Structure 1
Amino acid sequence: MKKVLITGSNGLLGQHLIPLFLQDGQYEVIATGRGANRFPKKDNYVYETANLRDAGSVKRLVDKYQPDIIIHSGAMSQVDDCEKNKDACWDTNVGATRYLVHAAESCNAFFIFLSTDFVFDGLQGPYSEDDPVNPINYYGTSKVAAERLVMNSKLNWAIVRTVLVYGVVADPQRSNMITWVKNNLQQGKKVKVVDDQWRTPTLCHDLAKGCLLIANKQATGLFNISGDETLTPYDMAVKTAAYFNLDASLIEKISSKTLAQPAARPAKTGLVINKAAQELGYKPHNFAEGLDIVAAEIK
């Protein structure tokens, strides 16, 4: 059995990685996050609270378990929070990655790092793995810096870039695009949604599966793991309303320029997933199928 350490295990991706790796049958899972374990299923894996912003905490965790694989999905990913709290963003996204890479080198773990389409400026999307990075916000800047730490390490590594991940997390405080639209429309509330940003939205199950495919093959290098349909958030909202038979006239189309958000957003990203399809056999669900899966989980 190989030991896999999953950081950020309380997050959306983390909560999908745990059952998937357990189900695969060839992994012992060690999950880590801040605070208590918020994943409802507590059987057949170990959970450890760790502060990844502390080098000693990271070293103790890795020394204790000596993982064969580390999947680093823990991050500060709220883009506006990163812009407003740059020190916290840097410590969480870059400092923690540095400590994990350093600890991983001591036990020669295979390192899978989760990154983002926000490493790009959004002028030329969709992007392939070979396109040059050029972030336009601090979140993207921190992820580029963390990617470079991984690339320049002595480890065997894979970097997984993804886009606008959606799915259901066992934490009522957290919503995503689909649940947010659904809940508001069900209450008869209007929602404002931008129609001038293009993405390839990613079902969380697909992202988790992509990570498992990489782990199983120990595939190295950069991989784009996302959906393959280019949609705006407005498109997603309208499709969500139609799926749940809700009133789409409550959805107001707006320009991102009217939002005055602290962090700039790239206009057109989206990722080209040909490499993942060819090298890993990765095949994502389309958005309609994704809605089916999310609807079943909400129930």
Structure 2
Amino acid sequence: MTKVLLTGASGLLGGNILKHALANKTLDILPTRLGGDFSVPEAFRGDKEILPLDIRSQTWLWNIISQWKPEVIIHTAALSEPGACEWQRETAEAINTRAVKFIADLCEHFGIRLIFISTDLVFDGTKGDYLETDPPNPLNFYAETKCRAEEIVASSLHDYVILRTSLLLGASPQSLRSLDERLKADGEAGKTMTFFTDEYRNPIAASVLADITLKLASGNNRSVTGLFHAAGKDKVSRFELGEKLCQKYGISRQFYKGARQDEVTLSVPRPKDTSLISDALLTVMNFPMPSLDEMITALP
């Protein structure tokens, strides 16, 4: 069995990775989380205990990694809300960048494979259809921290995978972490929602990205290394995505509208088109990416 240490097990992607890993008899997973009072539902964790792990503590990381000796670390934990990162810069830097340096150093020391989850927001959105060879140009502090973390991983390790991804859909352990969960809740509450007509992304179901991530942790794909884009194959505007989700959940057209970014006051700068081309990863893994409509149909 491949021993995998997972950070961020209470998050949207981390929770889905944990759920998928429990069904994979070739993996022995140790799930961890930063802390807090929230209890991860049994539907995601099974009978697994989720250990507390403050990734900001080099000593704490050393103790768990040196004792458990994982072969792979999947690092999903992050402060990922751009607004929170903008106003809590020290915390964002500690969690999103310095902790990655600690983890990368330990991976190098113990010979551990690292799979690091990054974001399409490292791009400024002026071009769209970004390839892995396109230079990043982050517009907000969250994206800056992730960009620096990417550089740390790539410069420190040989056995690593960086996955830049996009908007995640699907069920989360905390119920309101994904876009569709929040949209459904707002729709049920009768709130009017605004979706940008000029912001483009490549949404992907968290369960699909979890499958990709775990396939990179064991088996034939253990030899895959480097930086890759891992997002859905369908490029849509926020409005197009919002409309598809509203139709799925039976939310009336009167409860949502479209707007351009320049018609709304933004709390932090937002790139307009961070669409990603993920052909390189899908080809090397021979992975059949489902369409956006297929992923939406499969949502709870």
Q: Same fold (TM over 0.5)?
A: yes
Distance 2:30 2:52 in 1: 11
Kindly indicate whether residue 187 of structure 2 is the aligned counterpart of residue 182 of structure 1.
Answer: no
After TM superposition, the structure 1 stretch with the greater mean CA deviation from structure 2, 31-40 or 126-135, is 31-40
Q: Superposed, which structure 2 residues align to 1:1-299 within 5 Å?
A: 1-35=1-35, 38-41=39-42, 42-43=45-46, 45-172=48-175, 174-216=176-218, 217-218=221-222, 219-295=224-300
Query: How far off its partner does 1:148 sit?
Result: 0.8
After TM superposition, the structure 1 stretch with the greater mean CA deviation from structure 2, 180-189 or 277-286, is 180-189
Relative to 1, partners in 2 of residues 1:175 and 1:76: Cα closer, same or farther, differing over 3 Å? closer
Query: How far off its partner does 1:171 sit?
Result: 1.5
Q: Deviations over 1:119-171 (max 9, x none)?
A: 11111111111111111111111111101110111441110000011111121
Q: Secondary structure at the match of 1:70?
A: strand
> Which amino acid in the other structure matches residue 215 of structure 1?
A
Distance 1:191 1:289 in 2: 24
Q: Secondary structure at the match of 1:152?
A: helix
Q: Tell me the matched-pair count.
A: 294
Q: Secondary structure at the match of 1:114?
A: strand
Q: Secondary structure at the match of 1:74?
A: coil
CA contact 1:164–1:201 (8 Å) conserved in 2: yes
What is the TM-score when the length of structure 1 is the normalising length? 0.93
CA contact 1:29–1:46 (8 Å) conserved in 2: no
After TM superposition, the structure 1 stretch with the greater mean CA deviation from structure 2, 181-190 or 3-12, is 181-190
Unpaired stretches in structure 1, ≥5 consecutive residues: none
Query: How far off its partner does 1:58 sit?
Result: 0.9
After TM superposition, the structure 1 stretch with the greater mean CA deviation from structure 2, 236-245 or 87-96, is 236-245
Percent of aligned positions that are identical? 26
CA contact 1:188–1:250 (8 Å) conserved in 2: yes
Unpaired stretches in structure 2, ≥5 consecutive residues: none
Query: How far off its partner does 1:46 sit?
Result: 4.6
Q: Secondary structure at the match of 1:103?
A: helix
Distance 1:54 1:105 in 2: 17
Distance 1:130 1:212 in 2: 24
Query: How far off its partner does 1:37 sit?
Result: 6.8
Q: Deviations over 1:91-131 (max 9, x none)?
A: 01011101111122221100111000011111111111111
Distance 1:3 1:45 in 2: 14
Distance 1:187 1:179 in 2: 12
